[in-house]
């Protein structure tokens, strides 16, 4: 088959654009009964409308209008073409109305959310009941995953991320600072004491958290205004933050954990925090999405709701019961 029979992509695009403009002009003229009124409706000149219709007629090989100095009427071919266009016009109008309702009406539809396992389970999931009560027409699909969010592949609308945000291609709204605390149980402290400095950690039993990448998460400390990283040798390591916490509560060792995980235990005295003067800065809990523009109502409602509710939670520790 001769490859030149079919037009290339550029020709197809040009043909579609020409036909599309002609069909729009044709429908406007048929609806208004006048080229001048159609031009006013479309916001273009009468001559532009006429040229678009003429190009469409040439492409179809038929006359669509009978034009006189006093009137414009459809030919039989034009009447048939107009009738065939009506279902498409109605569907387009319906689609526009539905998009307007989604934008301006009560939030509705599916919202796909991603969060790290620990923060999602401890903070995000408990707030979903309240959000659903406020917006009953919105359904939520929550994915817990410690891997970086792939918004496109996973079709995620909003993602909760922790740490330091370095991806400039996404919008990241900080909800609260991320406090990192070095903690141990009273039983462990009674047996081994607490480290007096960072170098003393080498003499302690440590519990590590393994990242989704397979690497062990480094511990971070602020020393003389500089960030210092430390990877302890550990007898225990878990890829689940709740298991790290449980091991520390059981007196198995000392670990650096996020404030949202341990603040209640520190306040209750079931965990003791140490070296607060070296707590790292610059981390945060973030609510992330791809764009601020043209967000559906359900997404805007979720962002505003979660931002207000999470900032109202007491997820920071005052270290009132900590020791140096």
Place of tokens 């800065």: 281
267 has a pLDDT exceeding 50: yes
CB 170 within 8 A of CB 151: yes
* Contact indicator for 321, 272 with CB cutoff of 8 Å: yes
**Structural tokens at position 321:** 């019961």
Could you tell me if 230 and 218 are in contact, meaning their C-beta atoms sit under 8 angstroms apart?
yes
pLDDT reported for residue 33: 87
Residue 19 has pLDDT above 60, yes or no: no
Q: Which domains, and CATH codes, for the chain?
A: 3-104 (1.10.10.10), 109-177+284-312 (3.40.190.10), 180-278 (3.40.190.290)
Query: How confident is the model at residue 223, as a pLDDT?
Result: 87
| pLDDT (tens digit per residue) in 103-116 | 666 788 889 999 99
pTM passes above 0.75: no
Instruction: Please say whether the beta carbons of 34 and 68 come within 8 A.
Output: no
Residues 39-88 have pLDDT tens digits of 888 888 888 888 989 998 888 888 998 887 778 888 888 888 888 888 87
- Residue 207: CB partners within 8 Å, gap ≥ 6? 234, 236, 237, 238, 244, 247, 248, 252, 253, 254, 255
Position 206 scores a pLDDT of 92
Strands (E), 132-210: 138-144, 158-163, 171-177, 180-184, 207-209
- 6: tokens are 């079919």
Q: Are 280 and 221 within 8 A, CB to CB? A: yes
Q: What is the arithmetic mean of pLDDT over 268-277? A: 90
Kind plus residue range of the DSSP H or E element containing 55: helix 46-60
pLDDT in tens, 192-234: 998 888 888 888 999 999 988 889 988 989 888 888 888 888 8
What tokens appear for 29 in the block? 């003229």
Q: β-strand 236-238 against 207-209: which pairing, if any?
A: parallel
* SS3 state of residue 204: coil
Beta bridge partners of 39: none
Helix (H) or strand (E) holding 273, with range, is: strand 272-274
Contact 236, 253 (CB under 8 A): yes
């Amino acid at each position: 088959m001769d490859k030149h029979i079919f037009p290339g992509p550029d020709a197809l695009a040009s043909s579609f654009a020409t036909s599309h403009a002609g069909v729009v002009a044709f429908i406007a003229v048929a609806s208004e009964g006048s080229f001048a009124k159609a031009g006013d409706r479309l916001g273009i000149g009468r001559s532009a409308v006429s040229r678009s219709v003429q190009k469409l007629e040439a492409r179809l090989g038929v006359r669509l209008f009978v034009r006189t100095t006093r009137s414009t009427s459809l030919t039989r071919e034009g009447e048939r073409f107009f009738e065939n266009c009506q279902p498409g016009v109605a569907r387009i109008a319906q689609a526009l109305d539905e998009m307007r309702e989604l934008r301006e009406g009560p939030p509705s539809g599916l919202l796909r959310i991603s969060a790290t396992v620990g923060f999602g389970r401890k903070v995000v999931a408990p707030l979903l009941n309240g959000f659903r009560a406020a917006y009953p027409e919105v359904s939520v699909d929550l994915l817990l995953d410690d891997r970086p969010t792939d918004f496109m592949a996973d079709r995620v609308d909003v993602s909760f991320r922790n740490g330091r945000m370095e991806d400039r291609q996404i919008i990241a709204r900080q909800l609260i600072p991320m406090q990192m605390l070095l903690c141990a149980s009273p039983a462990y402290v009674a047996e081994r004491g607490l480290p007096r400095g960072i170098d003393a950690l080498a003499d302690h039993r440590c519990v590590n958290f393994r990242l989704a990448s397979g690497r062990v998460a480094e511990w971070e400390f602020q020393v003389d205004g500089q960030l210092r990283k430390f990877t302890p040798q550990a007898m225990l390591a878990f890829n689940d933050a709740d298991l790290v916490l449980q091991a520390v509560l059981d007196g198995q060792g000392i670990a650096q954990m996020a404030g949202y995980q341990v603040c209640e235990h520190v306040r209750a005295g079931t965990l003791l925090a140490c070296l607060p003067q070296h707590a790292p800065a610059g981390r945060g809990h973030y609510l992330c999405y791809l764009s601020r523009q043209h967000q559906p109502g359900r997404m805007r409602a979720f962002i505003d709701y979660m931002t207000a509710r999470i900032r109202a939670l007491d997820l920071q520790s005052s270290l009132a019961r900590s020791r140096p």
